Structure 1
């Protein structure tokens, strides 16, 4: 088996005031399937007190504990396109085991919009929101489209996933076949034939994993990978 870690690179990296966004987040035990919520077209609010970004981008919104769905519903009601990926985990309640939905990334959801100052204030004023990841309204950190799209593909095929430690090291590979063809990542050796594709959101330092046939991956030449990373860095 192999473990594959996604190589989606955030277009603008954040060092956010010493806050470790992944710290203290509980990891779910046994996981069966993935669900997510994405609604409405991207909101393009009028500029009020600041210039809008040139195009809609994905932003990570940090919420109070257990407020992810509350924030999602409020922002959707305001016309934002929001994405709250969830996973179903086994839980024992009243002596019975049942599958319940939990956020894939506890304490976070994503919004896709052109974030001007008015939209920033409107988002921050939403009940349950702690902050939008970034330094200030015009210097927010964004999540790469490829990372969001990879998570959405998991949801579309209803693939079994489970939380996975955030990984940094390994050989860069590209999946060449199946529902996840084209997704790139880092390869870590495990058992033959079967492995896990780990889709990471680098801004959150969190990952999820989906089982994959690891014979359907091909190495990416180090030079090509380095050039791709450099191009993404220059574009950020």
Structure 2
């Protein structure tokens, strides 16, 4: 039965329509998943915990070939994320990894486009002893970034994992 094997795909949605699109797909009987996390947001008059999608404009669907058209016909869906002209298959292991991470208490994922991090860009440190300090990227490695910090009137270059940096 060629084409009946279910695989995970990423679909690109209209901006800020991830959760609505996910619900519409589920109503159609299509297995979909929009990974979200709870985040505290500050308004002028109150703080509120809200559920925000981790991947902006993306929803994952677990479908076989015959479900591709109904997915594309769903309101809010723009297209499948493609690789070499074909819908990109997301490995089951990657989906399981994200799901298991989100089950951990106080799990927090922040997706940053690696292209945003460039030499001379300013970044804010998200974790560790330099948390909330700002600096300038002086060198990019494969998994580490070297950031120049100005502390106590001194300039130092510190190595950070990419995940600990937030572009500003």
- TM-score by length of structure 2 reads 0.62
Specify the alignment match of 2:118 in structure 1: none
**Given that residues 66 and 107 in structure 1 are in contact (C-alpha distance below 8 angstroms), is that contact kept between their aligned partners in structure 2?**
yes
Structure 1: which 4+ aligned runs deviate by more than 4 Å?
Answer: 195-198
Task: Please list the CA deviations of residues 153-210 of structure 1 after superposition, one character each: whole Å capped at 9, or x if unmatched.
Answer: 0122234213143459xxxxxxxxxxxxxxxxx85489xxxx9796xxxxxxxxxxxx
Residue ranges of structure 2 left out of the alignment (5+ in a row): 116-141, 147-159, 164-168
Matched residue SS, 1:162 = coil
**2:94 is equivalent to residue 144 of structure 1:** no
Q: What is the CA-CA distance between 1:129 and the residue it aligns to?
A: 0.7
Specify the alignment match of 2:102 in structure 1: 155
**Given that residues 52 and 114 in structure 1 are in contact (C-alpha distance below 8 angstroms), is that contact kept between their aligned partners in structure 2?**
no
Q: What is the CA-CA distance between 1:66 and the residue it aligns to?
A: 1.4
Specify the alignment match of 1:81 in structure 2: 31
**2:10 is equivalent to residue 63 of structure 1:** no
Question: How far apart in 2 are the matches of 1:156 and 1:112?
Answer: 20
**2:78 is equivalent to residue 130 of structure 1:** yes
Q: What is the CA-CA distance between 1:64 and the residue it aligns to?
A: 0.5
Question: How far apart in 2 are the matches of 1:100 and 1:197?
Answer: 26
Question: How far apart in 2 are the matches of 1:114 and 1:162?
Answer: 29
Question: How far apart in 1 are the matches of 2:65 and 2:105?
Answer: 31
Spell out the pairing of 1:208-223 with structure 2 (5 A cutoff): none
Flag the structure with higher strand content.
2
Determine which structure has greater relative contact order: mean sequence separation of CA pairs < 8 Å that are 6+ residues apart, divided by chain length: 1
Question: How far apart in 1 are the matches of 2:112 and 2:103?
Answer: 23
Question: How far apart in 2 are the matches of 1:99 and 1:76?
Answer: 24
Specify the alignment match of 1:100 in structure 2: 50
**How many residue pairs are counted as aligned between the two chains?**
124
Rg larger in 1 or in 2? 2
Task: Please list the CA deviations of residues 81-125 of structure 1 after superposition, one character each: whole Å capped at 9, or x if unmatched.
Answer: 111101222212342122211100011110011123xx2111111
Residue ranges of structure 1 left out of the alignment (5+ in a row): 1-50, 169-185, 199-236
Question: How far apart in 2 are the matches of 1:197 and 1:65?
Answer: 26
Matched residue SS, 2:97 = helix
Distance 1:64 1:157, change over 3 A: same
**Given that residues 10 and 80 in structure 2 are in contact (C-alpha distance below 8 angstroms), is that contact kept between their aligned partners in structure 1?**
yes
